[in-house]
Each structure stands twice: as structure tokens, then as C-alpha cells.
Amino acid sequence: MTEKTKVVVAMSGGVDSSVAAALLKEQGYDVTGMMMRLWSEPGKEESNRCCTPDSMAQARRVAGILDIPFYVVDAKDVFRETVVQYFLDGYANGETPNPCLMCNRQIRWTFLLNHALALGADFMATGHYVRIQNAEGGMRILLRAVDHSKDQSYVLHVLEQDKLKHALFPVGDYPKPEIRAIAERFGLPTASRKDSQDLCFLAGEDYRNFLQRNLPEILQPGSIETPDGKVIGEHNGLANYTIGQRKGLGVASAVPLYVITKNANTNALIVGTHEQMGTTELTARDVNWVSGEVPAEPFRADVKIRYTAKEVPALVQPMMGNQVKVTFDAPVRDATKGQAAVFYEGERMLGGGIIQ
């Protein structure tokens, strides 16, 4: 390692990216901190969890303690046009989108990476809990974090080899408690800072309130139906409901009913019994294979259908049009359009796509 190896660390004012910067500085890299100023609704700038004035001040303090340069990049417009619009379009199409996927693909690992490379950086690092392993031929493999409870490989299934060759993930080799201990060792003010869980641009609010202000036309009433088409009630906008939801449906039934799916074409909310909830197969689109190579044959994998779900065994069959068919060994609940299905082989994350 030489001082000439330059790395830009995407900083957020949180403990993970702070420790990423500290570890890289300790390892002898030439480190620069970079933080994005993201879009917020007018008047809610102090509530955007990714770039509040307090978060920015924390990141600056960390950079000062580590004695590294620190830059702020204005990403408001590109964030609004890509990530927020993706969120709105997904709900307009009857999906439950995960905007973190679009943010990682287009904002962190395209927009910000380009800024890092323009500064002469060899690598960009983030505080994601994931690991990279070098393989033959220069290929880079993505592995789950040592701390499985914090693993974020699910939201990084969108990364391709041309991005991974510039990527570093310093915290993926450590359990979270050790990351906080490292922050204390370096005297970083973020050591005890709480983790952020919500979508940054929602400013801590329920997503329904955000949709009501920014896309009220999709919150149109429609019918609540059983799987066989019987109308049993009225909903107040498909976006107000989540797959698997039981409470708050507003329909009388002798047995508990759950949201099974949404039909955006007919504006119908389909509900059914617990036994009707499971599915044994799904199709995913916009599939990204981390290796850059589409598997030639169907293969066995453990599949995760949402960030908080456990992996379950399945057969994954690549299809034309950048799609896959996933057939599960046993029925799974809450497979949701707009979320990602991500494929694993042991610790290795192979890729994933959007459930349709």
C-alpha cells in the first residue's frame, strides 16, 4: 500500500462511513471524504436523514479529526429525477418500490463514483456491510457481511463489475459492536450515533403522507375483491396497502383476510385467507448478474425476496429479456411487486432482479 492509492469515502455523518474512512486512513490510503446533498421536500431539509445540517456537521467533524479533505456534492436534482421519481412511478404502477436500489445504482455508484474518479481516486468506499473477494481474471465477487444481522448485499445486487473494480467496503469484515468500538478508539463523535432506518426523503414520515402530497391522483378508491373476483368492500387507494397486510382493511369476514396482491389495471385490492397467501414461483425483471455473465442453465440458490426476509431455497431459471423465473421449494409469503429477488450461493451474492 502506498500513499498514492487514492480513495473517496462516501460519508453520511453516520458511524459506518466514518469508520470506513478511519480504517482506510489507518491502512495508508490517501483518503478524501465526500458527502451528497440530496433532495428534500421544500421546508423539510432538516429532516432528510441522509444529509441534515447535523449529519453534514458530523461528517465534517470526522473529516477534521482524521485530517482528510471533505467535499459536499450537490445531488438534489439527479436524486429527485431518478430515485424519488422511481418511488412515485412504482406506486403509480401498483408496486411497492425499493428506492434504495435505484439510489445505489444511479446515485452512489454512478453519479458519486464519477465525481470520485474525476478527483483522481482509484477507489470509492462506502459504509455498507458487505465484503469483496478477488477472483481469477480480475473478477470481483460480492460476499455477505461477517455480521449477517447487518448484511446489506441485498441492496447492492445492482452493482456490475465495472463499478466493483473501484469499490471498497471496509466495515463488512466487522460485527457492528466492533465498528462502534473502532469509532471510539479513533475518538469519532459518530460512535454512539443511531442508525438510520427510514427512507431519507420521507423525513421520518409515513410514505402515505408523502404520496398524498406528491402523487394524490393515484390514491383513488376502488374495489376490494377476493381471488375469484367477488367484491367485498372498497379501498381508499392501492398505495395505502402493503402485501400481507391484515389490519385496517375495513371489511367484515368470519376469517382473517390479508392483502394478496394489487391489480393496478382495474384498481382492485385482492385479499384472501392465510392459505391463499403463499406463492411457489415468481418472475423477476431487470436482472443484474454480479459476475457479468448470465448462467447458461437453471441453478439452485437461496433467494431473498425483501431486505428483511430470510433466504429460502429455490430453482432459478434465466429467461430471455433479462428476466428469471424463480420456483421455490415451499410456498413463500409476501412476494411483492417492486421489491427485489436476490440470489445467493452460500456467502456469495450472485445477483438479482425486480419482482413483477
Q: Supply the DSSP string of 106-149, one letter for each residue.
A: IIIIIIIHHHHHHTT-SEEE---SEEEEE-GGG-EEEEE-SSGG
Please give the C-alpha separations between residue 138 and each of 148, 176, 298, in angstroms, as whole numbers: 26, 30, 25
Alpha helices in the chain (DSSP H): 15-26, 53-66, 76-79, 85-92, 99-102, 113-118, 161-164, 176-185, 207-214
What phi, psi does 26 have (nearest 5°)?
A: -65, -35
Query: How many residues are recorded in the chain?
Result: 356
Answer yes or no: 51 catalytic. no
> Which one is catalytic: 50, 51, 100, 200?
200
Among residues 265, 215, 192, the alpha carbon closest in space to that of 88 is found at: 215
Q: Cβ distance 223 to 234 under 8 Å?
A: yes
Q: Could you give the maximum distance between any two Cα atoms of the chain, in Å?
A: 70
Q: Cβ distance 323 to 353 under 8 Å?
A: yes
Answer yes or no: 100 catalytic. no
Residues 54, 25: Cα–Cα separation, whole Å: 24
Q: Supply the DSSP string of 299-326, one letter for each residue.
A: EEEEEESSTTSPPEEEEEEEETTTEEEE
Residues 225, 44: Cα–Cα separation, whole Å: 38
Among residues 343, 340, 299, the alpha carbon closest in space to that of 96 is found at: 340
> Which one is catalytic: 50, 51, 100, 103?
103
Residues 18, 10: Cα–Cα separation, whole Å: 9
> Strand pairing of 279-289 and 323-332?
antiparallel
Q: How far is CA 11 from the centre of its chain?
A: 17
* Residue numbers annotated as active site: 103, 200
